Amino acid sequence: MDTLILVIIGLVAGPVLGGLIAGLDRRVTAWFQSRQGPPITQAFYDVAKLFGKEKMVVNQWQILCSWVYVIAAATSLALFFAQSDLLLIFFVQAVGAVFMVMGAMAAKSPYSQVGAQRELLQVLAYEPVLILVFVGFYLVTGSFSVSAVWQVDQPLLAKMPLMYLALGYALTIKLRKSPFDFSTSHHGHQELVKGVLTEYSGPYLGLIEVAHWYETVLVLGLCALFWTTNVAWMIVLIGCTYLLEILVDNTMARMTWRWMLKRVWLLGIGLSVVNLIWLYAG
Amino acid sequence: MFGSFIKKSRAKSPWIMHFDCGSCNGCDIEVLACLTPLYDVERFGIINVGNPKHADVLLVTGTVNHRNKKVLKNIYDQMPEPKAVIAIGACGLTGGVFREAYNVVGGVDKVIPVDVYVPGCPAKPEAIIDGVVAGLAKFAQKVEEAG
């Protein structure tokens, strides 16, 4: 019964928190650029408007792919709230991410195609880091379960600081922030129009946006697991991490996928492996 | 309830697509000026998207000629309903000083239906923002009529 309530909280909290975070993000970015910026609830208006638009698809696959993406993202967050197995959460999330790419590949547009290839490279970059972070959780708690993380008596950040830095890379990629926003971006124009999202439109783009909110909350939830002993400090940790993400987004240029693979694989995986050796030896 | 929220959201989240039909760039610079911190149209939820499939409002500057009228029509057709078109500047309205030229078709309304006309040479950013707001009122009305 408790699990069911947690699942429902997860399903509701995903879009609500994700949308508010997206709105806050635009507000803070506007503040950095000495603008006023849109209202905090802007992300909800955008998605509601998209749901009211005409249904235009290039290919029937896009309908299936956007639904699978949103369902997988919602399921992975629900599993996370239900304190399920981290590996299961990871695989469900990966299925969604890959379906989103498949939908983009179903259209012949070169923008969509190149965007999809770049998105695949991004998935390739962050997924090993996530897996290594989960292995780190296992070495500390002796289990892949989220509930085991809640039973530790000191914050995991003390034992896995390098892992947290590596997770920062995954977070930046997943939030589509500069320097890793080359498959698609929240901001203005880019060389690929809208990259992987170019051919999604109307309600299906709305679904993808909702799925993106679920994933944002999931990745921030993973960050939260690094300080489970005190809720106040957990909120401070997530808040600081997200502010840092916005700062990085506003101060960095967009880089290439080669740069990303080098950085994330060498530094991200390197930091994780060093941390794993430390956990294993200590 | 959700239906009324969608209706309300349409006016609060107009994504614009800007197409330069053959303008001298005067109006284009003024359109882009709307996005700067001074005018900051993002506070109304307006985003400049480069993709007709994501756009709600099409801003067209410059005269239409025989070469680019197909491109203009194509971009218009790719935008999902409900949508609005705003013609900007003397050239976009009627062809301006170029209206007599042999290669010029005339204003934007010769090719696609225009909802709002923003005059000026070039049009002021304030006038363009007013035009977008008027365009939103128009497409809210169109949606009402369509039911």
Number of domains chain B contains: 1
Residue B82 contacts A where some CB pair is shorter than 8 Å: yes
Q: Does residue B122 fall inside a structural domain?
A: yes
Chain B residues whose beta carbon lies within 8 Å of the beta carbon of residue A199: 53
Distance CA A184, CA A176 (A): 7
pLDDT in tens, B74-112: 999 999 888 889 999 999 898 888 888 898 988 888 899
Give chain B's residues under pLDDT 70: 146-147
Residues 6 or more apart whose Cβ sits within 8 Å of residue A18 = A43, A210, A212, A213, A214, A216, A217
Structural domain of residue A93, as residue ranges?
2-281
| Domains contained in chain A, number | 1
Question: Domain residues for B117?
Answer: 13-146
**Exposure b/e, B110-133, CB count within 10 A at least 16 = b:** ebbebbbbbebebbebeebbebbe
* A37/B43 touch (CB, cutoff 8 Å), yes or no: yes
Let me know if residue B140 belongs to a domain: yes
Q: Is B45's CB within 8 Å of A46's CB?
A: yes
Q: What is the pLDDT, as a whole number, of residue B118?
A: 92
**Residue B1 falls within a domain, yes or no?**
no
Nearest C-alpha of chain A: how many angstroms from B16? 11
Report whether A134 contacts A144 (CB < 8 A): yes
Q: How far is Cα of residue B36 from the mean position of the Cα atoms in its chain?
A: 18
If phi > 0 it is left, if psi is from -120 to 50 it is alpha, else beta; for residue A217 that is alpha
The reported pLDDT for the residue numbered A146 is: 87
| Domain contains B4 | no
- Asked if residue B86 is part of any domain, the answer here is yes
Instruction: Confirm whether B95 is domain-assigned.
Output: yes
The pLDDT of residue B96 is: 86
How far from A148 is each of A136, A139, B29, B80, CA to CA, in Å?
13, 11, 58, 49
Domain membership of residue B134 (yes or no) is yes
Locate the chain A residue with the closest alpha carbon to B12: A45
Q: Is residue B88 part of a domain?
A: yes
Phi, psi of B140 (to 5 degrees): -65, -40
Predicted confidence pLDDT, tens digits, chain A (282 residues)? 788 888 898 889 889 999 999 999 999 999 998 888 899 999 999 999 899 888 888 888 999 999 999 999 999 999 999 888 999 999 999 999 999 999 999 988 898 999 899 999 999 999 999 999 999 999 888 888 888 888 888 888 888 889 899 999 889 998 888 888 888 877 766 678 888 888 888 899 999 999 999 999 999 999 998 898 888 999 999 999 999 999 998 888 888 889 999 989 999 999 999 999 988 887
A205 touches chain B (CB under 8 A): yes
Say which residues have a Cβ less than 8 Å from residue A108's Cβ, sequence separation at least 6.
A58
User: Does the beta-carbon distance from B40 to A188 stay under 8 Å?
Assistant: no
For position B146, what pLDDT does the model report? 65
Interface probe for B, chosen from A35, A191, A205 (most Cβ of B below 10 Å), is: A35
Most B-contacting residue of A53, A192, A209 (CB-CB within 10 A), to test interface: A53
pLDDT value of position B95: 86
**CATH code where residue B32 lies:** 3.40.50.12280
B102: distance to nearest CA of chain A, Å?
A: 34
Cis peptide bond N-terminal to B82, omega within 30: yes
